[in-house]
Amino acid sequence: MNLIEEISNFLQSYCDCIDEQRYEEWCNFFIDSARYRVTTAENYSANYPIGLIDCMGKAMMQDRILGLLKANVFEPHTYRHILSFPIITNQLDNKIYVKTSFLISRTKQGAGASLFVSGFYLDELVKIENELKIANRIAVLDSSLIDELIVLPI
C-alpha cells in the first residue's frame, strides 16, 4: 500500500469511528500532545487562534468524550462523513501535512438526513511505530452559521 492509500484508509477509519458511534475510540487517532480544533473559514482566514472547539492534548479530547457520553443532554443524532481523496501538501522529517475536504450529513432521531457542515481538514500526521497518528487537526467549516452546538467530533 502506498502512502496516499495509507492516509486515505486512516482518515476513513477516523470518520467511521465517529459515524458508527465508537466515540471512546476517537481519541486513539491522536498523539498525546495533539491539538484538535474546529473553526470557520472566516476565522481561519483571519488567523484567529481559538476555534469553536479547541482541545490541547489527548486528555482534553478524552474529557470532551466523557462529557458527551455522561453529562451532555442533546437530541440523539448521527453523522455520516463523505471525504475527498486526501492531498499531501508537504512532508518534513516524519511529518506529513494533508488537506482533505469533507461533507457531513446529520440525521436526527425521527427525521431525515440533512447537510450539517462542509469544509476541510488540515492535518499534521506522524508515524509512530509504523502507525499513522494525528499530531494536529484543524477542521475548517465553510460556513460560520452553525445551527446547533457541535456535540460530536467533526
- List the domain boundaries for the chain: 3-141
The pLDDT value recorded for residue 72 is 62
The pLDDT value recorded for residue 66 is 84
pTM recorded for the entire structure: 0.92
CB neighbourhood size of 77 (10 A):
15
H/E element holding 100?
Answer: strand 95-108
The pLDDT value recorded for residue 120 is 98
Q: Give tens-digit pLDDT for 16-35.
A: 999 999 999 999 999 999 99
The pLDDT value recorded for residue 51 is 82
Please give the distance of CA 30 from its chain centroid, rounded to a whole number. 10
Q: Give tens-digit pLDDT for 73-97.
A: 667 788 899 999 999 999 999 999 9
Q: What amino acid is encoded at 16 in this protein?
A: D
Query: Which residues of the chain register pLDDT less than 70?
Result: 71-74, 147-149
The pLDDT value recorded for residue 109 is 82
Q: DSSP state, 154?
A: -
Coil, strand, or helix at residue 92?
Answer: strand
The pLDDT value recorded for residue 34 is 98
C-alpha–C-alpha distance, residues 138 and 77, integer Å? 23
**140 within 8 A of 99, measured Cβ to Cβ:** no
The pLDDT value recorded for residue 147 is 67
Second-level CATH architecture of 3-141: Roll (3.10)
The pLDDT value recorded for residue 148 is 66
